[in-house]
């Protein structure tokens, strides 16, 4: 009986931890602020749309998260207060969280989300870069 109670308690604690991670919120960055950060080279952008999408077009300077996630520590700046922005397809996509959490888990404190994603960026007439 005690073993079963301990097992149940352990499972509940694990579920609570997973829920806390899933509920982690990231501040959104506006298009104007993102454009300024890109212009002043004060941001590392993480595109989580996948390699094929990244190659077709991504926000200028964005890293292809699928290609760099294993060596993310090398791709991010030494300054843990640096601005890191993750994005995916649009406002309805939550895939950005993988990149945002990866940066946060590496100790970055200024991690944000560009909610409009690549679709929103293109929709307002902003240019994209093509990958190779």
H helix intervals, the chain: 2-22, 31-39, 51-56, 65-68, 72-75, 96-105, 117-123
For 23-76, how does the pLDDT look when each residue is reduced to its tens digit (9 = 90+)? Answer: 568 999 999 999 999 999 999 999 999 999 999 999 999 999 999 999 999 999
Confidence of residue 132 (pLDDT cuts 50, 70, 90): low
Q: Residue 79: what pLDDT?
A: 97
Q: Which tokens go with 123?
A: 């929709």
Query: Structural domain of residue 97, as residue ranges?
Result: 25-123
Q: Which tokens go with 19?
A: 């829920």
pTM: predicted TM-score of the whole model, two decimal places: 0.81
* pLDDT higher than 60, residue 120: yes
Rounded to an integer, the average pLDDT of 11-32 is 63
Report the CATH number that the domain containing residue 65 is assigned in CATH.
Answer: 3.40.250.10
In-domain check, residue 16 = no
In-domain check, residue 75 = yes
CB 59 within 8 Å of CB 128: yes
Total number of domains constituting the chain: 1
């Amino acid at each position: 009986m005690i073993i079963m109670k301990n097992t149940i308690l352990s499972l509940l604690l694990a579920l609570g931890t997973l829920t806390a991670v899933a509920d982690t919120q990231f501040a959104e960055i506006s298009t104007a602020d993102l454009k300024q950060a890109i212009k002043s080279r004060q941001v590392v952008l993480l595109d989580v749309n996948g390699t094929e999408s990244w190659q077709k077009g991504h926000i200028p300077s964005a890293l292809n998260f699928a290609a760099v996630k294993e060596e993310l520590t090398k791709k991010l700046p030494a300054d843990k207060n640096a601005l890191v922005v993750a994005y995916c397809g649009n406002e309805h996509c939550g895939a950005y969280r993988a990149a945002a959490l990866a940066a946060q888990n590496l100790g970055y404190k200024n991690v944000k989300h560009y909610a409009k994603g690549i679709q929103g960026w293109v929709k307002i007439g902003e240019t994209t870069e093509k990958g190779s």
